[in-house]
Structure formats: structure tokens, C-alpha cells
Structure 1
């Protein structure tokens, strides 16, 4: 379940990514390549890898990096390039029963899952020499002890349920919500109490050398406000209410049906008060500093001093950056109008829902049946070892990642990535110099920002210290709670110090990448630096179309409609001339209109305004990849492989990266909650604006994807 209640954990000041599924309640300054832009849901070392080599080996595609067998050559490239490049693969591929989608990203995620599992098995067998080996072994043992989970049933949350029951006043309830540990950073895997208004500690977007406290809205159990408000999701909302009844019944809560109805009505009122995801993309509007006195005025009846003290924040904090200011008074009113008994039932449900994966089988299956099967169409529950791998990557990700890197990330991959990044930066610099819509003043500042980009490849330079985190082999739920507390305390401790620019927002085994505005950095974890994105022996054109496009995508995030608002030092400020900003915005609006016309499922369209940053990233990324590939030839003709020219292979490499197939319910959820367009349009929607695609494939007027030159969007 992509619960907004726990999304407060992802907060920062604004970020962009390759694939992002869940939107944080507090604006995140990290933009990811794909969904899952969080602290993952996933050196010389003597430790040898376990498991069959074939199951843990990096994949390869075809003889030169592209899977020719996946093509459908009966389709004209100019009519449907996605199907031309991937059609045969799409038609023959079935989505595994325990997954909601399948494709290039998912294949690498499955591989990462298996590799993490191999590490965990070695830890259990006492084969690791890593400093965190004992901690890893204990965490894995606790997760895999299903018999103990059955014996304990709901006992792990009994104390918290008792505390909820004891609440007598709204003031006490506010204090209870403060115990949420709202900056814990584990996304949807967080446990414990929930809150409707919460805080986090992240780099200050206008002073990115220091940390600040951010405050945002939360409280929704469904994936997005649309699930409460749009008729298209009425059936899901009804099933949600039934699920609330089910969990309240399972924990012996009074009047489960009556309370469930009130809980859903309460969340619906919060949804009506919430900002839309499109509104929460605007980094200017989501930066509203307030003193505690001003914050109290904004939310009458909500005692922030009590809340923040309960959260463990220092009493000296008197400045909070509000991310959705006009929603705060409405939230306060809903809170004031809601009976305490309803709030307690809501808290009990949210607590149980968050804890369910760590409890007995009846809770695990109830959670799966609604959150995975009903909301996303996933036919089967994932095997316990797979869930354990995700949990351990989310809680001890850098400890596991240290072993992952030693086993599966060759030094040559890092070296070649350095060269590719340099090529893409050079390509963007050349484009900036030639832009006919940008004036010299803005151009100079854009050049300066590009020159200050930081690049992180593979793994952190300093690994996280987990010595203060206790994992017990017989306390799964306690491990999850302690992991949240550990991360929250780590974040609180940062308040008095400078921003740690070396910190990573993803683990090495994460298949993703991101751009962080406040650090002005692009980050590529080790796990994504494999085929089809990158292979040391692949045709360079395919590598440029794959990882080159990804590099370009992340760099372009620094210049998308939101990333462009930060300068080279990561400061959120307007460094554009008014004329150039207006020209940029005009092009962005045209791009948004193109994507808003796409309709993946009847009645369910792409939101061009929501996916704007990612669409700009895709278009810029692929354009830069093509430029960089051409420059790499140094004037020499590109070889022809299996009848494909170099330019053609760049576009095929991009299309292969985005080959994917998704269940309808999961796609519907993504369309309202994900700032990335569906994979089909990350191919067909991107290429139709790039002149090089037309010349590479001889696309002509009359072809279905043809866009007249005057109608094409040209930003970067």
C-alpha cells in the first residue's frame, strides 16, 4: 500500500528521479529515474558470493547489447517505435504472479533481490566477515522466523494499541502523533504511530549547507487523494473501508464497521483539504518558512510545541518550512471537527496496517489482499525471503550494500561511467551554448550550474555507521521499530551540523538513479550499472542509448521545470531572466499538452503537469545521449551491426531500457500518483520530439508518430 501516512518519512526539500511511485507529503529534492525514489524498499572483501553463479550473474542482451528477438519488425518504426523495438518481447512475456510489472527495471530488481538474499544466507551461515555481519544475520533470522510470528500474532503491537486506547483528550492524541518518528526514511515500510501533520529534517532548499525542519500534510491510507474523490476509484474506496473493518475486527477494536465508516470519512475530509500532486511539485509554493507562533496561527487547536517535543526535536527549533500552507488550516479544522473516538480508531488501523507485514500470517495475508492484490492486481504474495531481502535493504542497506559492491560491482564499470558522464556533460554544455531561446545572462548561469554538478557512482565514499542500531533474532517488529527510531535520531542529530554532502539517498543495490537539487548532484547506484543500461562489452551506441540516456535524464533534471529553480550551489532562487523563463515555460506547457493527450487505459490519461519534470528529463536525456554518441565517433563513420546504423542503435538502446508490461490496476495507480509517464510513452512520447529519430528511421508525414517540425518541443 502506498500510504500517504508514512510518506512523511521521505521528505526533503525537493528531488527528481528515474522512477518514483509514492509521492512524499513533504516535497523531496531528489528526482529518480524510476518509481521507488526512497531509501529503498531495496574494497576488497574476503566474502565469496553464494548461490548458483548463473542466478546471480549480470545479464547480457544479444551479441552487441540489444535483444533483436524482442523486436516486432512487422510494425513500422514511425508508427509505434515501442512495439517495433519491444513488441515480440511484450507479446510473449507474462508478468510473474508475485509482481505488478515486468521489464528491464524489474529484471534487475529481481536480480538485486536474489543477490541480497545470497548475502543474507551467508550471514545466517556465519560466512561473512563484515563488521555488521551479526546485525544482518539477526535481522534476517527474525524476518524468516514465521513460526514465532504465528505464536506472537498481534502481541508485538499490543502495547501501542493499549496506549491508543488510553488517550482521553485531543491534546494527548497530538502528543501521541508526535511519536510517529516522521523522518525515519523507510517510506512505506515504517511502523508505529501515524500523524496527519508531520515533520522531517532535511537540507534547507534556500540554504542548502544547513538542515531545516520541514512540515507537511499526511494521513491518507489510499495511494492518492483521487482514490477518495474521483468516481473512477469508488470501488477501491469501498474495498478500502471493508479492509479497515477487517483490521479493526482482527485487533478487537470496538464497533469495527461503524468506526471504519468514520475513519474513511475522516480521510476523505483530509483528501479534500490536501494539495494535489501537481500543486506539490511547485518548489516555490512548497517553501513557506514559519515560526512556531506563525505555525500555531495556521493550525488552530494543533499544539506544535507538544507535537515537536514528543517527536524528540530540540526546544530551540523555532523555524519550520511548511510545504502546503493553505492546506494546514483545513487540516486543523478537520482535526477539530473529528471525534476523538474516530481518531483513535484511525490510529489503531494505521498502526496495524503498517505493522501487518511483520505479524502473523492472517495479518500478512490481509494486508497483501488489499494493498497488493486489490490496489495493484498482484495475484500472489511474494515469498517470505523476497520480503526479507527488501526489509534488510531498507533497514541495513549500506551494510548489505558494502558486501554487494565488493561482490558485484567491478571497478571498470565505475571508470567507464566517469567517461560517459563527462561525455554527456560536454554534450549539454554544447547545447546550452547553441540554444536560440536563451539569452547570454541566463546562459552564463546555466553553464556555471553545469560546471558545479557533483557525480556519485556506485556506492558512498563513507558507509553508514549502524553500531547504535540493535537487531534481535527474535523480534521482527521490534527490529522495524528500532530501525525507524535509529534513522529518526540520526536525522535529528544533524540539526546542529552542516549538510553531509557525501550522504546517499539510495542503497548500492537499488536499481534507480536520481538528481538532488540541494546538492546539485546526480547519483547512480551500482545495481543499475548493468545491462540493458550498461555493459562494458556492449556496442557503445547501445550504452549511450541506455545508461547515457539515464545520465542525460538526471542531468536534465537540474534544468527541468522544478530543478531549474536551484542554482549551481543548490540554492532555491530565481536565476533566470524573465524573458528566458517565459520562453522555457511556453515550451514546457506545449510538452505537457502532448503528454496529457495520451490515454493508456480508457478514461485514464497521463497527467502532463504531474509528469512534466520526468518528461523533460527523458527528452533531454535521449537528445544528449545521441549528441554524445555522435561526438564519440570523432568524425569517423559508425559501424553497421545487423543492418542497424549507430544512430538507430542509440534509439533502440533507449527503447530496450523502457520495455515493460504492467497490470491495469497498478497502471491506474501510477497514473494518479507517479510523476513518471508509463514506459510506453517514455519511448513513443520522447522520440517524436527529437529530430535525430526522424532521420535515423526515415519517419515521414503520415506515420502515426510523426509531429511536424513546428509542433515539436525543443527545450534542451
Structure 2
């Protein structure tokens, strides 16, 4: 694709790009002029802690609502979106005579029955009694058949199976087996003996027992059941990869024939399982974690079958709890949100149901969302700003002093073939075979699960659908997909504070420009760089350039490893490396584009700040966040993203323009020593 090199028209484009968005008519007052000076903490020194200086006032004045575990730009915008979605959904639910099969009929019926708390309370756990009885009647010889049937019903026990894009043949799909079967959010909570992990396991035992008590298991037996569940999950955890190990797409690509899978894992009847899924002629499969499947047989054989039945019941309970009566909902919330994440109160029912619709029928709801709030003109204009950042990345690659011409040529080829998705799909997902009725919330969730599994299995043997989206239009996020080599920016994120039509270029480039640059850089981070322009894992780097990249990336790992988040919990520099590279690259690429604007060239001050200073203030504003300590402890263990304070400060410590803007001198905390400065993209 041809890229424009002359960017003189960027400033005017930036000012009008989303002028027609109706969403911006309700912009929060703090974003009215791009950056609210009350966000500042003027008592803080920007050379010591820029995050505190830039948004310390915001942090002080925006406490976390009781039903949230963190509160910041993403959550605030998501909450605003929830209110919009609620209006759309409740309008659909208010009528029962929509055309059968229409989006409004399905969305409205799903919401209406999910909001019928009187009916749900009356049912108690009756919706799952058939599942529990099925497990009671299960014989060991029927285990594989049971697991296949349950998979088709939307339930995954012990391991995970999916149909995904083949990472070395990205024009086709492949069956994909991966580790699974755990109820806690991280493998290491089962295997580590630090105080936090041991405490979590004790709380988890109590939670499991409490859930069994709710289906009338006596307390003593419920405690025994909980221990059996934890024992099984611990065995599965010990043969599982860590979260860090699973970041590597090369290590998790192990394509083999079904015959070789049988040799790897001979104690499980794989042919019967695949036949049960309707995949009778299956030949090849990718096994993400071979050691898990090698050890699976021993776990299956060493656990008494009656214990497996208890484990299966637990999985029914934990996966269905939020669709059952309030005792189940409350117990699940108390452990997963109140204890693990620090939430103080449960969100109102309407909000939980909106989230449920987003998770199960997000694109169907998205059709109604964009119809009202994101017209086609906005989509076209948004594409142009993304193109500008792609041009900036091209210039950055061309100017790299550490990369050879041979690798640069390959990098530029990959960049030139980036796919870009803006706002909403050109072709909507087909929901015509999905049936939704006003009979039962639990039944509707089951219907969606079955439909979703059927849709996924139907991919096999078909060419990859390049138009398919994996994020709904209302999502407040953005993404890079390495196997498709594409970036996606849903309509939900194309709003203040990420993009603000009332703001100056500096703030918009520091915010949305850096977000766009972030996703572009993911194509060249420590894992994205392993994929070529077609989305295939391929070594397109020279050996020398690969080593230079690793050396630079390791400096970033070392930098983030030293960041203390809360108490003794630090950022895991290796786990968060990809996101940290993307943050640094995104800021650098966006800054490169911002320097072409008239605002930057003129250097006129606004509210006492230069354009360059406002650029970095815009960056900080995006990440202004309050988070509970429990959430932060969970985040550093399980999330590939660094917490917000470190996301703001970390990249800036490596950017000379930031030092210039705020007079950061050698030796100041916001400036890395010369031998530790990181420059990649």
C-alpha cells in the first residue's frame, strides 16, 4: 500500500477526525480542553515521578467506586459505554414482538430473562441439576465420550481445545490443544509456597466447600470434596507451563499428527474424543504444551474416578454460578472479586448482564451500538490517522542505526502489509443459527456456548476469514493479531481521553497516537517480531540483528524488574516485555509524527505548558488509574501489562525529548543512566 510521506495535512485532520461522533457530545468535563489542570499534583517533581506530577491530582480526586477493583480512563469509558449499551438493550427488552431472529429480539430476550431475578431466585440451582445427575451416572468407560459431549455443550474440563489459525500456515486453521483445568488464575498459585500463594489456596478450599454446600452437600463432605478438587488441580498445575513460558509462540507451536499425539499421550483415547466432536478425518493438531499432555495420562490414572466426578461437578458450579440464584452469585463474587481483587461491592445486576451480553453476543450488540453511535464517515476518517502512524513507523525503521539493511527490508515489507480494522466489521458475524428465548438465563448461556463451539469447529477445512473480528465494536481496547498481521481499533476506544476533538494535537498524539503506535509496535515486539508479513512464524532477522534486539530488550526487562508496585511485589520484566516494548515504541512513533505538526513547530504554550510537555501529559492522562492493592498483587502475577504508574514512567526514562521537555538531568529518577537507556524502535 502506498504511504503518504508529506504529512502537512495531519493537524487539520486531527481536529476534524471524529467531529461527527455523537458520543463526544457527552464528553466528561475533565476532557473538555484536552488536559484538565486539576489532574496535576504541582507539589510533585516531574523529574522524580512524572506520573504523580501529571495525574496525582486526578488520583486524589477519583476514588475507586465500591464495585470496581480499579478506576481509570479505560474503566470510566467502559462505564460510560455500559450506560449507552443499557439504553439500547432495555429498549430491545421492552418489546416482545420484534422479528424473530433479529438482533433486537435476541438481545432483548436475553436481557429480559437474565434480569428476572424473582424467577432466578425461585429456580435456585435447578438449572444445573441435569448436569449434576449426568455426572453422577458417569462411568469411567464413558469418560472420553462425556468430555467430547461437554465440549460441544460449551464446557471444557481438564484441557482446552480450540480451532485457531495455524501459526506457520496462516491461511488455514488447525485444531489446537492447550493446558487447562485450573480454577485459580495462575499456575504458580498451586506450586509456590510464599505466604500469598498459601493463603490463596486456603481461601480457595473454603470457597469450593461453600459452593458444594449450596447444592446440599453436608459440610464435612463438602470440605473433603474441596480438598479433592484442589489435589487434582495441583496435579494439573505441576505438568503445566508457567504464564511466562506460554508467551513464546515458538515453544507453544508443536504441530504433530494425531498418531504422534497418541504416542505422546497414550492413556487418553484421542480418536474417540475427536470423533465425538465430529472430526472423524482429523490428521494434524497443534499441541501447545507437550509436557502437559505427556503427564496427563498419569494424572488420569492416579486419581480415583469418583474424585474426577467431584471435580467435574465443581467445574459445573464455578462456570454456572453467575447464572444461578444469589447465594451462588455472592459466593463466587466474594472469592473472585472481593478476596482476589479487592472489590468492595458487587456491580448492579443490569451491569453484570450487560457484561454477559458483551462476552457472549458482543458483535450482535455491536450492530445496534454502531448503528446509533459510529457512522461510516467516522470509520473512514479514523483510518487516515492510523495510516499516518504507519508512515511514522516506516520512518523509524528506516532510520534505525542498529539494524542492518537486510532486516530493515523485511521489517518494511511486514509493515507495508499490515491489515487495519477500524470501528466495526465490514462483514458482521452471522448469528442466524443462534436461538435465544425468554425461558431461562442459564439455558440462554448454554445455547450461546453450543452455538459458539459449533461456529468454531466449522472453521476447519475453510480458508481463514480475514474479515473476522475478535473484539466487539463497543470494546474499550485495541489489539494486534500476529497470525493475521493486523491491528484493530474498535469504536469503543475512539473517544476521549484517547481521542478528543476538542484537544490540541499534542494531547491527541500523546494519547490516541501513542495507543495506535503501541499496537503497530506489537508487530515488532519480542514475540510479534517472530511472525512475518503473512502472519507465519519465520526467522526473518539476521542472526546479528536478532542478538542486538535481544540485548536491547533485556535492558528493558532489567529496568522493569526494579519497579516496586505494592509492598514487596515488583513488575515481572520478562512477563511484561512485549507490552513495555510496545509502550516505548508507541510513544516514540507517535512523537515522531507529532513533530511534523504546526503546533510542535510553533512551540506556543497552552496553560503554561509547551507542546512537547502537553504531549507527555496526554500520555499520562490515558493511564491515570487508582487500583486496589489486591488487584495490583494479582496483576503483577497474571497480567502481561505493567501497572499504570510504571506504564507512564517506564518509557519516559528512555526518551531524550521527555528529559528536554521537563529538564530531567543525569542522575534524576526519571532518566536512565547512559548505559541503561533503551532504544529499540
TM-score normalised to the size of structure 2?
0.93
Select 2:133's aligned residue among 144, 162, 168: 162
Corresponding position: 1:105 with 2:53: no
* Partners of 1:640 and 1:497 in 2: CA distance: 56
Match of 2:475 among 510, 516, 524: 510
- Give 3-state SS (helix, strand or coil) of 1:326's partner: helix
Aligned counterparts of 2:136 and 2:383: Cα–Cα separation in 1? 56
Find the structure with the greater CA-based Rg: 2
Say if 2:274 is the partner of 1:304.
Answer: no
Aligned to 1:12: none
Secondary structure of 1:335's counterpart equals helix
Q: Contact (CA 8 Å) 2:157, 2:315: kept in 1 or not?
A: no
**1:466 shift after superposition:** 1.1
Question: Is the contact made by 1:194 and 1:351 (CA closer than 8 Å) also made in structure 2?
Answer: no
**Which moved further from structure 2: 85-94 or 578-587?**
85-94
Q: Does the aligned pair in 1 maintain the 2:599–2:611 contact within 8 Å?
A: no
Pick from 412, 416, 420 the counterpart of residue 385 of structure 2.
Answer: 420
Partner of 1:226: 188
**Partners of 1:483 and 1:181 in 2: how far apart?**
13
Tell me how far apart the structure 2 counterparts of residues 212 and 252 of structure 1 sit (CA, whole Å).
Answer: 43
Structure 1 position 63, deviation (Å): 4.5
The match for 1:76 is: 45
Q: Is residue 207 of structure 2 the alignment partner of residue 243 of structure 1?
A: yes
Change (3 A) 1:60 1:552: farther
Structure 1 position 578 matched with structure 2 position 521: no
Pair 1:205 & 2:171 matched? no
Determine the C-alpha separation between the residues in 1 that align with 2:146 and 2:598: 63
The alpha carbon displacement at 1:635 in A equals 8.0
Cα 1:114–1:181, aligned 2, differ >3 Å: closer, same or farther? farther
Flag the 1:520–1:336 CA change in 2: closer, same or farther, 3 A: same
Contact 1:290 1:321 in 2 (8 A): yes
Inter-partner Cα distance in structure 2 for 1:303 and 1:58: 57
1:633 is displaced (CA, Å) by: 3.0
Counterpart check, 1:181 vs 2:143? no
Unaligned 5+ runs, structure 1: 1-48, 183-190
1:360 to 325, 335, 341: 325
Q: Which residue of 1 aligns with 2:156?
A: 194
C-alpha separation in 1, matches of 2:548 and 2:481 = 25
CA distance in 1, matches of 2:29, 2:672: 34
Deviation readout 1:539-580 (Å, 9 max, x if unpaired): 111111111001000000000000001111111111111110
Which residue in 1 is equivalent to 2:90?
121
The counterpart of 1:57, out of the listed 16, 22, 26, is 26
Task: Report the Cα distance in structure 1 between the residues aligned to 2:521 and 2:54, rounded to whole angstroms.
Answer: 25
Question: Are the aligned partners of 2:165 and 2:172 in contact in 1 as well (CA < 8 Å)?
Answer: yes
What RMSD in Å do the two structures reach over aligned CA positions?
1.8
Report if the CA contact (8 A) 1:199-1:216 is conserved.
Answer: yes
* Residue 376 of structure 1, aligned match among 311, 334, 341: 341
- Following TM superposition, by how much is the alpha carbon of 1:688 offset from its aligned partner in structure 2, in angstroms? 0.6
**Range with greater deviation from structure 2 (406-415 or 493-502):** 406-415
Distance 2:401 2:229 in 1: 55
Partner of 2:527: 562
Question: Could you tell me which residue of structure 2 aligns to residue 289 of structure 1?
Answer: 255
Output the CA distance in 2 between the equivalents of 1:335 and 1:82.
Answer: 50
Which deviations, in whole Å up to 9, do the C-alpha atoms of 1:26-63 show, x marking residues without a partner?
xxxxxxxxxxxxxxxxxxxxxxx9xxx99x93435345
SS at 2:550 equivalent: helix
Give CA-to-partner distance per residue, 1:524-544, whole Å, 9 cap, x none. 010100000002222111111
The answer for unaligned runs of 5 or more in structure 2 is 1-21
Q: Distance in 2 between matches of 1:413 and 1:596?
A: 41
Q: SS at the partner of 1:523?
A: strand
Partner of 2:104: 133
Corresponding residue SS for 1:305: helix
> Match for residue 598 of structure 2?
633
Once residues 311 and 245 of structure 2 are traced to their aligned partners in structure 1, the CA distance between those partners, rounded to angstroms, is: 26
Q: Aligned match of 1:320 in 285, 301, 312?
A: 285
Q: Which of 228, 232, 235 is matched with 1:266 structurally?
A: 232
Report the TM-score, using the length of structure 1 for normalisation. Answer: 0.89
Matched with 1:252 is 216
Report if the CA contact (8 A) 1:156-1:478 is conserved: yes
Secondary structure of 2:249's aligned partner: coil
| C-alpha displacement of 1:317 | 1.2
The equivalent of 2:309 in structure 1 is 344
Within the alignment, does 1:85 sit opposite 2:54 as a pair? Answer: yes
C-alpha deviations, 1:470-503, integer Å up to 9, x for none?
Answer: 1111211111111111111111111121100001
- Write the mapping of 1:417-496 to structure 2, written as runs, cut at 5 A: 417-496=382-461
CA drift of 1:384 comes to 0.5
- For 1:674 and 1:577, locate their aligned partners in 2 and report how far apart those are by CA, in whole Å: 31
Distance in structure 1 (CA, Å) of the matches to 2:235 and 2:564? 29
Q: Helix, strand or coil for the counterpart of 1:380?
A: coil
Residue 472 of structure 2 aligns to a residue in which SS? coil
CA contact (8 A) 2:341 2:628 kept: yes
In structure 2, the CA distance between the partners of 1:686 and 1:106, relative to structure 1 (3 Å rule), is same
Indicate conservation of the 8 Å contact 1:197/1:216, yes or no: yes
Residue aligned with 1:631, SS:
coil
1:253 shift after superposition: 4.4
Tell me how far 1:630 sits from its aligned partner.
0.5
CA contact (8 A) 1:192 1:354 kept: no
Deviations along 1:183-218, one digit per CA (max 9) or x if unpaired, are xxxxxxxx8533212210011111111111110010
Q: 1:685 is matched with which residue: 636, 650, 659?
A: 650
- CA pair 558-695 structure 1, distance change in 2 beyond 3 A: same
- What's 1:4 paired with? none
Specify whether residues 430 and 689 from structure 1 end up closer, same or farther in structure 2 by C-alpha distance, changes over 3 A only. same
User: For 2:114, which of 131, 143, 157 is the aligned residue?
Assistant: 143
Tell whether the 8 Å contact from 1:413 to 1:536 is kept in structure 2 after alignment.
Answer: no
Query: 1:330 aligns to what SS in structure 2?
Result: helix
Stretch moving more, 91-100 or 614-623: 91-100
2:244 maps to 278
Q: Distance in 1 between the 2:421 and 2:598 partners?
A: 26
Give the Cα–Cα distance (whole angstroms) in 2 for the partners of residues 424 and 150 of structure 1: 52
Indicate the residue corresponding to 1:385 in structure 2.
350
How big is the shift at 1:243? 0.9
**Structure 1 residue 229, shift from structure 2 partner:** 2.2
Q: Quick check: 1:194–1:347 contact (8 Å CA) kept in 2?
A: no
Alpha-carbon separation, structure 1, partners of 2:493 and 2:298? 45
Aligned-partner SS, 2:414: helix
Q: Is the 8 A contact 1:549 1:624 kept in 2?
A: yes
Deviations 1:563-621 (A, max 9, x none): 00111111111111111001101111111111111121122111111101000000000
Q: Which residue of 2 aligns with 1:609?
A: 574
Q: CA separation in 1, counterparts of 2:256 and 2:136?
A: 33
Please tell me whether residue 95 in structure 1 is matched to residue 64 in structure 2. Answer: yes
